[in-house]
Structure 1
Amino acid sequence: MSLAQWRQFNFFDKQQTTDPIEKGKTPAVFQKQDISVFATGRGHIVLADSKGNVYIVDRSFKTQMFIAYDGGRVTHLKQLKQKNVLVTVGEEDIISAIPVIKFWDLDSLKPTEGTDDIIVPTLLRTIRIQHGGKTYPVTTFSILENMSQLAIGLANGVVILVRGDLSKDKTTKQKVIYEGEEPITGLGFREQTKSTILFIVTTSSIMSYNTTAVKPTITILDEQGCGLGCAVMNDAQEMVVGRDEAIYLYDPTGRGPCFAYDTPKSSLTWFKSSYLVIVSPPVTTSTHLSNGARASLSFNPKRTSTNELTKIAIFDTANKFVAYVGTFLGGIRGIFCEWNSIWVVGMDGKLYHLDEKDTPTKLEILFKLNLYVLAINLAHMQKYDDASIAEIFKKYGDYLYNKGDYDGSMEQYIRTIGQLEPSYVIRKFLDAQRIYNLTNYLQELHSKGLANADHTTLLLNCYTKLKDVSRLDQFIKTDTDLNFDLETAISVCRQAGYFEHAVYLAEKYQEHDMYLDIVIEDIKNYETALNYIKKLGPYEADRNLQKYSKTLLTHLPHETTQLLIELCTGVLPLATINNNSAVLGSGFKSPTPSDNNTKALSNLPFSAAETGSIFSDQSGPTLHNGSNHHTPTLSRMAQTKNAAGRLSYHPPSSRKFMPAFVDRPDCLTTFLETVFEKLWGFSSSGNASPTSEATVISPSSNKNAELNKLGEKSWSLQEQEERKTIWNTLLELYLMDDMESTKEPTGPRERQKRKREFRQKALTLLQDESVQYDTNQALVLCQLKQFDEGIVYLYEKTGMYTDILRHWMDKGQTDRVIEGVRRYGPKDPSLYPMVLTYFSSTPEVMAKSTQELHSVMKHIDEKDLLPPIQVVQALSRSNVATIGLLKGYIGKKIEHERRELKQNEELIGNYREETDKRRKEIEELQTSARIFQVQKCTGCGGTLDLPAIHFLCRHSYHQRCLGDNDRECPDCAIQHRMISEIRRTQEANADRHDLFFDQLDHEDDGFDVIADYFSKNTMAFAKLID
């Protein structure tokens, strides 16, 4: 490949250098015609002439000189970088021409007297090179930076290796390591971790030599060599060789990269990290030289003339382009690199420097030429940041996009991810309808974790538009970490009809709500949904059943009811879903994808207050499966072990699930009955559940009622409210007119039997004294449903006997009225007038109850329950009852009144006689003397002798038979004291009007109370005088 075939750029600016003092002139040292060799390093340039002088030039072109070879000449220079040591190779005697190597310490420069331009550096040591007693010129040399090894190449094809500390050792060992027939044209050391390799280049071959091996050998790397000056080491410690047809790179293993460059080459110089400065042999302006017309050993000033042109090319080996091509009239004396510039010394003494353009300028040049790949490589080499490089990729992508190369442009845009706003790329490819390319970009965006919800939506829409199920599977079912918005992905798959993928994602990442929503609303696989809810554990099952129980009850009523029972009774197993598993739902088949294939989910309206556990606020022990643990809310469920070793929890309230059974009252009945029985031991059949651990059983006996009251004390207020709610709901269910919601046809006989069973359950429920239900509410419900047994029970429970009889009267059931008056009449006498009125209300009732009417009247008469006037008034309210019906009763009552009146008159006469007798006795005691003729002692019964004591009551005693302080007759004292106490009580109660009115309110006949008070003279009582 010729020079013209490589891309060429002008990345270097050529300028002539002038002396800073003498403007317009080249620095004087470069104008010397005998300058032959150059070296650079450590911030200065070193030149040497054919007279043995060495010149050191700094950045301001101030020059200092010292004599290195007095009377001789300098042929080679090397400025070490690690140490400020200058290595010179020259000849002290031109006649003998023995090569002498000298090491100069440039850190210790001593100026001579009278001038600062001439200095005297410290000569560290001198080494003479001689082989076989003959002298041969040195063609090239190389030295390690640590000055431990030095290699000398001679024109006779011999390479001599000098080893040791060249800066300190007094003696060094020289060893011939190679002898050949061709001149040595290049040497270079390569330092490796455990070895040091020396590259040897001749005009006919290229070899390597391991200087640190125990038995070192020469290894031939190539059978072709190069001319003098065309071999140089690069920064990667590779030997760069230039031949007419190409440039080759060599490492110890052999030839490496090759750059076809079919141009004659006279010298190579390495600049910075990747530039190779190639100098071609000079040609005259009139005649071109042949390919072999070049100097084989050195530049020869005598061979150039003022009309010769020398071409310099700077080749970028990293980016493979020519960075600069320039020509110099009159030939080139030398090239060296320092201060970030390439310096060219012409044969005419002029000094030029080639300055590399800055990177932005070079990039602008490449942008104008649309060479974006080179621009990117250049930016990488210059350590540009990611944002700057991404901007170049963006420009490159825009360029390809405008050309219509959408695939290529997308490759560039993908490289901008993380720096370029994704919307910029997305907008372009949406407008161009390049969905496939956009899919690639979005997929890469997700793989780098930089996608948002909108990107996920767009990517999944692209998959669905392309119907690329395989890539959709790869994106969704990948085992890597989640790198997309999960909720968005599920929603898009669902909307597009890819339910299988949506379900997979929801199940894998534990999105229970979405999983159930899809399975129930879209796939309609209710059985799978129910099984999934079972595996979620109590908390999640509670939350999801509140949302989906109504739908599940519609399609799987019995299975769903059973699950609700397990949840609300505390026996549902804990969660068995593995968070790391991703098992696709069984048997899911996605229907044909469509763009609009979703349904809205109906959320059931439940109060937030009903979502807690029924035991959230209890203060006492809970009668629940033998467990006494409780928690404030279901979200902090206590996980304990019951007697059977099964994990349990505090169940949620069953109230919040009741609305879901609106279309299935039969299932609701089963649900509430089972919950009621398992939690509190109540059975609607009237017996306690034999397997229940609760202490409360049906109140079918007095003993059971006492147990109920005992258990009620240990239930919390919230639990009592729960029981009350379930009780009310069950009662309403039992009294429903139609419980047939199972869609199973039944006959009239079965329906009647079922109705009787439910009515019996309702009555048993009403008799449950452990539930403090609202009697009025229950009564209204029984009345609405015309449940006679329940109405009568509630009336009786509340003592509303009048309402019981009125209920049966309204229904025209005379037998029940008769039975009721017999049962409740003694408790409530007011029933009898009402019954008498009812019996005489119509001829039909009278005909049916005549015998019972007589019986009632007889009972009233015997028990004296009503005065006759009330009986007559009750029967006279209608024209049905006749005088003949009352004749016997009235006659009997008149005769009884007559007898009672006669008895009272006789009793009054007796009381009057007794009163007169007592008054006479009192008068006699007050006015007449009492004669005592008693012969025996009333106390001991012995003959009465003196001393004796006589009392006015005609009792006499021995003095010895009485106590010292007895002043009353012992026989009459008790009666006297009782009378006195009665009198004192009557006196005290004379002002206690409250006692009088209280007695008046509680007695059936108030007149008797008043008469009794008057008879005892309490109304006008005189205080007793002791």
Structure 2
Amino acid sequence: MVFDTTGSNSEPVILEERGCGIGCSLVDCEKQLVVACDEAIYLYTADGRGPCFAFDAPKVLLRQFKHYLLLATAAPSSMAPVLEKPAGGSPPPEAADNRVYSYNDATTFTILDTKNKLVAYTGVVAGGVRGVATEWGSVFVLGGHGTLDLFSEKDLLEKLDILYRQNLYPLAVKMAQNGNYDTASVAGIYKRYGDWLYGKDEFDTAMAQYMQTIGFVEPSYVIRKYLDAQRLGNLTSYLQELHAAGMATSDHTTLLLNCYTKLRDEERLNQFIHTQEDYQFDVDTAIHVCRQAGFYEQALYLADKFAKTEMYLKLKIADQGDVAAALVYMSGLGGAEVSSYLARFGRTCLGSLPRETTELLVDVCIKGMDARAADAAGGSALAAAAAPLMSMRRIQHLFADQPAWLAAFLEQVIARRWQQGDSAGELSEAEDGEMKSAWNTLLELYLCGVESPPHDSPGPQANNQSGPRADRPTPKERALELLRDSHARIDWDRAYILCASNGFVEGIAALHEQRGDVPALLGLYIEHDDLPNMRRLLGEHGEAQPELYTKALHYFARNPQLADSAELLTECLATIERRNLMSPLRVLQALGGSEQSSVTLGMVRGYIMRQIGATSKRIEDNRSAIAASTAEHKAHSAKMEALKTKPVVFQSTKCTSCMAPLDLPSVHFLCKHSYHQRCLGDVGDSCPRCQAENQRLEDQRRAQEAGARQHDAFFDRLARAEDGFDVIASWFAKSPFAFAKLVDQ
């Protein structure tokens, strides 16, 4: 029954109808009413019934010591009821059930630990329990036979040792916790408990105990046990708790990922890698583990999060085969990065998506990506243009199996990188080398018959489709355009070797035209019996280079069987004759100077007759000129002799200068001119009228004397002359070798 003493007229509250024996109730140190009934021990508070302890035995005594309850119980079989009727006939007041118990030898003394909820001691007291006293930290029990038993509380270590021996580890843990043991010591008990359970093959229960040791027991101790036993499920749980406690290392995280992958537990794997804030593990190893187990999405997530670009691309290309996504990913990288990754993965990408890969390679090589990135970020176009270019020679090997796409790649790079205003003079040495390499490689591809895919074709297989191709030039036509392009920086020697090895005559001709090597070009036409081009070439360059006709005449002389040989020979001779390009002797030597010559006299009869007639006429003209010159020479010689040996008669009566009659003093010259002395003045010793002509002759004589010493000029003219004998005769006629010294008259 409970009374509320805080209010007035409060009604009592009955908590229990029955009671207990005398001496079987008390108020403990926590102000709780303890009632020891036969079936249990009940605790009551002001609020009502509290907890109870099941202890089925007849109670004869209840005492308290610290947190222990001291009980004396008697077995019903050893207890004899004694009925004593008083005079009034009513039962004794202390016997609630109309029975009175007497103590006997079967009394049992029990110490109940209420804090740890265990029986700390139980034993039989001989003669029954007559009294219990608690003093000096001990319990004294007085027995019915006059015995006094002393009970002392063991210290905590002794208690735990007893529990260890009985393998009562849960009680040991509880006792240690209630005894304010430090956490490390409690963890040691959990470890012992776990080891005991592990030895009994109770792995799940043992793991629950090991989890309580996290932070105090080395994780490797637990991990080794469960790795050896292949209990990955339990090990995974332990590693998860280790991470939750923040005690995991990178090795633990790697091991946990391995466990997830081996258990195929994708859900927990995703949860782990997506919710981690501090990734304390080797990312490369984690990615490798996920990749090996086939968890590609998880590996991609880690690779992307930690910027493991190479691993990300490996997963996308090699494992998932998603080349399109890989190309998109690479397009978002910087110029230097994308260059290295394209060099590594480009061949695989070209095998799957040649067009998209080629476009990306072109963008990298022409700064397109950097320019777009600069525009998107609001940067300067000049900064984008200053970005380093990717060397084409580093990536051309990627097209080893895709020559058609290599041609397309080079065409686009050349068109967009070097044909948009950049002149060769503005290029650096490295850039110039890149450009020449691109031109040379493209020419080689064309000469090998490689044709770049059409812009609307999905791949190189479109080249094999039948249909009209009038709008697309053939590879050889493109090669010829390339050779004739004045902007193309092609290595001449390499191009010549390529054209010669592929039998591309038009290309060789274009190369000779590019160099202006007309004799070599004529030799090429002669080698391939190309008469139309021979006729064109002779018409364009024959007059400036007469030696071309010599080669042509040799050719016609050796090949009379050609359809137009006679006609071309006649035409060639007519041109030589009309333009006076070669002497008849050289023509005849060219026609007949070879043992293989098949030219007949009838084929050149007209030319020879005309040349003989012209030569005869020239001889007659020369003879007439010689006769006239000889007569003139004789006349001048006779005149000079007369001046030297005969007197001169001056008959002039007028002054040549003023045309007035001569008077003394007068001056007469051998040229038959006479002057007044006053009209001459200071003109010197020469006739004023003849002075200019005399000076001209004197200068001419001095020039001849000086020219006699200029041997280089003579030999140069002799080398350039068609008729060397004519040059020598002309020089002899001018007496260049007569070193006569002029004498001033």
TM above 0.5:
yes
Q: Is the 8 A contact 2:566 2:603 kept in 1?
A: no
**SS of 1:743's equivalent?**
helix
User: Is the Cα–Cα contact under 8 Å of residues 231 and 242 in structure 1 kept in the other structure?
Assistant: yes
Tell me how far 1:756 sits from its aligned partner: 4.2
Aligned to 1:542: 339
Letter in 2 for 1:667: W
Matched with 2:613 is 895
State the Cα distance separating 1:1013 from its structure 2 match.
Answer: 5.2
Matches within 5 A, 1:968-979: none
1:498 aligns to 2:310 (yes or no): no
Q: Deviations over 1:396-450 (max 9, x none)?
A: 4322211212123223434555665555433322332212112223334455666
**Partners of 1:743 and 1:664 in 2: CA distance:** 11
- Structure 1 residues 1004 and 799 mapped into 2: Cα distance closer, same or farther (>3 Å)? farther
Q: Distance in 1 between the 2:48 and 2:309 partners?
A: 65
Partner of 1:814: 531
Q: Deviations over 1:669-720 (max 9, x none)?
A: 3333233222333xxxxxxxxxxxx336xxxxxxxxxxxxxx3222222322
* Partner of residue 396, structure 2: 658
Q: 2:415 pairs with 657, 670, 677, which one?
A: 677
1:568 aligns with 2:294: no
In the aligned structure 1, how far is the partner of 2:52 from the partner of 2:677? 164
8 A Cα contact 1:393 1:413, kept in partner: yes
Instruction: Provide the residue aligned with 2:577 in structure 1.
Output: 861
Question: 516, 519, 532: which one pairs with 2:329?
Answer: 532
Mapped pair 1:520 → 2:317: yes
Alignment partner of 2:499 out of 782, 787, 797: 782
Q: 1:482 aligns with which of 269, 275, 279?
A: 279
- The corresponding residue for 1:470 is 267
Counterparts of 1:428 and 1:867 in 2: how far apart (Å)?
112
Give the total of aligned pairs.
Answer: 665
Q: Which amino acid aligns with 2:222?
A: V
Q: How far off is 1:367 after superposition?
A: 5.5
CA contact (8 A) 2:448 2:502 kept: yes
TM-score (norm 2): 0.70
Distance in 1 of aligned mates of 2:666 and 2:119: 169
Does the C-alpha gap of structure 1 residues 757 and 206 become closer, same or farther in structure 2, counting only changes over 3 Å? Answer: same
On the 8 A contact 2:363/2:369 being kept in 1, the answer is yes
Structure-2 separation of matches of 1:205 and 1:894: 168
Say yes or no: does 1:884 pair with 2:610.
no
1:429 counterpart letter in structure 2: Y
Q: 1:402 to 1:894 in 2, by over 3 A?
A: same
Match in the other structure for 1:726 = 438
Gaps of 5+ in 2: 7-14, 17-22, 73-108, 123-130, 141-149, 454-458
Q: 1:448 to 1:873 in 2, by over 3 A?
A: farther
Q: Which residue of 2 aligns with 1:558?
A: 355
Given that 1:763 and 1:789 are in contact with CA atoms closer than 8 Å, whether structure 2 keeps it comes out as yes
Question: CA 1:464–1:638 in 2, change beyond 3 Å: closer, same or farther?
Answer: closer
RMSD across aligned C-alpha pairs, in angstroms?
A: 5.6
Task: Tell me if structure 1 keeps the 8 A contact 2:500–2:508.
Answer: yes
Counterparts in 2 of 1:423 and 1:756: CA distance versus 1, 3 Å: same
Query: Does 2:442 match 1:737?
Result: no
Q: Does 1:795 align with 2:512?
A: yes
Distance 1:924 1:811 in 2: 73
Q: CA deviation at 1:494?
A: 2.7
2:100 maps to which residue?
none
Q: CA deviation at 1:893?
A: 2.5
Q: Name the CA distance, whole Å, in 2 between partners of 1:571 and 1:992.
A: 65
- TM-superposition CA deviations, 1:726-755 (whole Å, max 9, x none): 22233233334353773247677736x477
Displacement of 1:774 in angstroms is 1.0
The answer to which of 899-908 and 968-977 deviates more is 968-977
1:623-642 to 2 correspondences below 5 Å: 640-642=379-381
Q: Measured at CA, do residues 719 and 648 of structure 1 come closer, stay the same or move farther in structure 2, by a change above 3 Å?
A: closer
One of 835, 852, 868 as aligned partner of 2:568: 852
Which residue number in structure 1 is paired with residue 208 of structure 2?
Answer: 411
Deviation at 1:849, TM superposition (A): 2.0
- The more displaced of 828-837 and 258-267 is 258-267
Counterpart of 2:608, as a letter, is: I
| Cα pair 1:375 1:392 within 8 Å, conserved | yes
Q: Which moved more, 1:901-910 or 1:994-1003?
A: 994-1003
Is contact 2:370-2:387 (8 Å) kept?
A: no
Task: For residue 737 of structure 1, give the secondary structure of its aligned residue in structure 2.
Answer: coil
Distance 1:909 1:396, change over 3 A: farther
* Matched residue type, 1:735: L
Letter of the 1:502 counterpart: A
Per the alignment, residue 481 of structure 2 pairs with 764
In the superposition, relative to structure 1, how do residues 647 and 830 fare at CA in structure 2: closer, same or farther (>3 Å)?
closer
Match of 1:213 in 2: none
Q: Give 1:435's match in structure 2, choosing from 232, 237, 249.
A: 232
Shift of residue 542, structure 1, vs aligned partner: 3.4
Mean CA deviation greater in 718-727 or 741-750: 741-750
1:406 maps to a residue whose letter is F
Return the match for 1:907 from 616, 625, 631. 625
Match of 1:825 in 2: 542
Q: How does 1:159-558 map to 2 (within 5 A)?
A: 335=136, 370=167, 378=176, 393-417=190-214, 422-447=219-244, 455=252, 458-478=255-275, 480-536=277-333, 538-558=335-355
What is the alpha-carbon distance in structure 2 between the residues aligned to residue 942 and residue 797 of structure 1? 76
CA–CA distance in 2 between the matches of 1:256 and 1:923?
A: 176
Change (3 A) 1:534 1:737: same
Shift of 1:891: 3.0
1:668 to 406, 417, 420: 406
Asked if 2 retains the 8 angstrom alpha-carbon contact of 1:538 and 1:575, the reply is no
Deviating more after overlay: 959-968 vs 735-744 = 959-968
Equivalent position amino acid for 1:767 in 2: R
Instruction: Kindly provide the CA deviation profile for residues 460-480 of structure 1, in whole angstroms up to 9, marking residues without a partner as x.
Output: 443344332322332233364
Give the superposition deviation at 1:856.
Answer: 0.9
Q: Report the residue type matching 1:719 in the other structure.
A: E
Q: Contact 1:836/1:875 (CA < 8 Å) preserved in 2?
A: yes
What is the deviation of 1:776? Answer: 1.9
8 A Cα contact 1:366 1:372, kept in partner: yes
Q: Which has the higher strand share?
A: 1
Shift of residue 853, structure 1, vs aligned partner: 0.6
Report SS of the residue matched to 2:324: helix
1:932–1:950 CA contact under 8 A, matched in 2: no
1:695 correspondence with 2:403: no
Q: Secondary structure at the match of 1:840?
A: helix
2:556 alignment counterpart: 839
Residues in 1 aligned to 2:638 and 2:173: alpha-carbon distance in whole angstroms: 151
Amino acid at match of 2:368: V
Mapping for residues 97-116 of structure 1, pairs under 5 Å: none
For the 8 Å contact 1:534–1:563, the answer to whether it is kept is yes
Q: Which has the higher contact order (CA 8 A, sep 6+)?
A: 1
SS at match of 1:770: coil
* Separation in structure 1 between the aligned mates of residue 315 and residue 724 of structure 2, nearest angstrom: 80
In the alignment, residue 730 of structure 1 is paired with which amino acid?
L
1:564-643 equivalence runs, <5 A: 564-572=361-369, 640-642=379-381
Q: Distance in 1 between matches of 2:681 and 2:171?
A: 147
Deviation at 1:884, TM superposition (A): 1.7
Change (3 A) 1:897 1:568: same
| Contact persistence 2:583–2:722 (CA under 8 A) | no
